[in-house]
Structure 1
Amino acid sequence: MKRVVITGAGTINALGHSVPDTFEAMREGRCGIGPLEFRDVERLSIRIGGQVRGFEAEGRFNRQQMALYDRFTQFTLIAAREAIEQSGLEFSGDLSARSGVVLGTAGGGVSTWDDNYRAVYEEGKNRVHPFVVPKLMNNAAASHVSIEHNIKGPSFTVSTACASANHAMGLAFQMVRSGAAPVMITGGSESMMCFGGIKAWEGLRVMSRDACRPFSANRNGMVQGEGAGVFVFEDYDHARARGAEILCEVIGFAMTSDASDIVMPSKQGAARAMAGALQDARVNPSEVGYINAHGTGTAANDKTECAAVADVFGPHADELMISSTKSMHGHVIGGTGAVELLACIMALRDGVIAPTIGYEEPDPECALDVVPNAAREAKVDVVVSNAFAFGGLNAVLVLRRV
């Protein structure tokens, strides 16, 4: 079994258009959630979100590319370029043939769906652009990363709602660890910031109208976000041989299914995923210093996750730091685990724990150290990243400082 390290990271999200910008915002406990800006927003009950602001696709892509790239694909390509550039890799020859791309998204080209339904049903048009299907398909982002960077090995897309990115990264980890690929480009992206995307979520009645306050007793729902996080997962020996900078090591992964309810979380399912990931990583619970929580800000999720952490970590749960960066960038749905992995890297490399902002009132059912409102300096050697999705699908990663 090969060791797996991360040698490149890239992102665009509500906190920043790059990894350094995002780290700075996390250190400052900055909030990227604000009023939504798009067509017909006044018809929505929910009018806040972690929207990527100051982004002009026209300045980054030409007209031919714009006809093919939904917003979620645009975000993915931007993040992938940053990650691959940092890694210093160029894909040619055998490396090109064996390396792959596995990305997560829940909805794919939601903006493209929305625009074209409007064109047909609202505006009465009888024709749509011939590239609508390749633009909206969930695998579009993975395919375009493959095309742009000449990556010809195993490439595909994972769609498991809010755990999509963690599932994708876990599978990429397993492929590199097994020797199936020396390098995998992995992560996730999402952009549901359009009228239809928000309206659908409104129907679930789990959205907050004012703020995302994970673990706080007065939390009242999740807030949607958008963006992408992309990483280069590489065989440790391959990275060392070429003198690459190593950000951290991926050491464990597990996934479980609650097999109980399509939307309500299960303490047992979450606990089995965390325990399985620790077992896969061959680390004791007492070695973990920080957990990046799923922490959506809903009443059910946060107390269930805290109960699962208490079950798995026992007395050590009281010593753990656990935070939800969704309080800052919103819930990026299928891409959320990828954006949140950045907080794990920051904790391991820089010794800075991203905070849970918006925390106002202690909740006896969430009585853990949630790093409230301000980042904290602390040396940690092992961290855990949780993702628990609708459908009862759970995916947990474990990372270690190198």
Structure 2
Amino acid sequence: MTTPTSDLLLDPYDYDFHEDPYPYYKRLRDEAPLYHNADLGFWALSRHSDVLAGFRNSTTLSNKFGVSLDPASRGPHASKTMSFLAMDDPAHLRLRTLVSKGFTPRRIRELEPRVTEIATQHLDIMMEKATGGTVDYVNEFAGKLPMDVISELMGVPVEDRDQVRAWADGVMHRDEGVTDVPPAAIEASLNLIVYYQEMVAERRKKLTDDLTSALLEAEIDGDRLTDDEILGFMFLMVIAGNETTTKLLANAAFWGHKNPDQIAPVYTDLDRVPLWVEETLRYDTSSQILARTVEGELTLYDTTIPDGDVVLLLPGSAHRDERAFENPDDFIIGREIGAKLQSFGSGAHFCLGAHLARMEARVALTEMFKRIRGFEVDEASAVRVHSSNVRGFAHLPMTLKFN
């Protein structure tokens, strides 16, 4: 059931697709649930049940070459920057289990008061700037908080955090038409890795109570993480933990603005914030496209996908599948989502940072809504990020109404 239809095109690098991928996804689900793009060299799965099965099939659909379509990010070297996300079992299970000894739910819980403080500091500055009119929510808040939280977790000194955040932004930035990792991003990556190497070396001499030290101490039956493995995980946090949470915060604000009837009850009942976060994760997830590599061969829809081919899983499409959700194109805070959410994947590679992302988003939006009674996004001036796998805003100017 692949499609020869010439006018049905999925190009993850196309700017029109970035502006609104959902009409493309609908056509894929209806006309080509197994889609093949021979020019760009990938297959794609778009229906909820197929994407979920894809996430859970970690034997035939391998992670070992990474999860990005970008050529420079793919290949046997992918685990150097993507850690266990670019590995299969048993290597994946070993590394994930060791990392989990340091990156515990308890550590995330204990971090919450500091996350609240960091959010409050950024909000104070944003509110002050907003008194003069429009303020960029991404520049002042959504783009700063997640990386600062990761730095807090890792033990990066406060005075270094602006620089570390700038490098992290540099790692992710792509100019128009660029389909591969540009030299500036490679330079930013090297700067970050050198910085983290020095940090790990310092902790080897003197342990502290941060995650970097906990990773150095993590041990199972005499097996420990190497410095390279720790660096790989720290880099994964920058890419996967920073970028996606920034996008989540901005997407939540944007769709809240577009659906005032849904957001109005949140002002008087802050317990609804987690529901707002979940519906944002479903309706317009940060992480839209994840790549896998076929190991052996895979037969779907009477078509055999050969060994070594790339299959894209499209959780962004799965969440708008009317086969899984009623009125999927409506933004409804409080709808029943449960285990149908695929923003954090599923199965063996379920996102280790899901707790952290949800906690950050809850704290950030709750603290913001304690202080305002309304906001308006300047849609005409909003700028989307152009990326082959994440969706969100580079700039989201807004005006705030204060309590």
Provide TM-score, normalisation by structure 2. 0.27
**Structure with bigger gyration radius:** 2
Provide TM-score, normalisation by structure 1. 0.27
Q: Higher helix proportion, which one?
A: 2
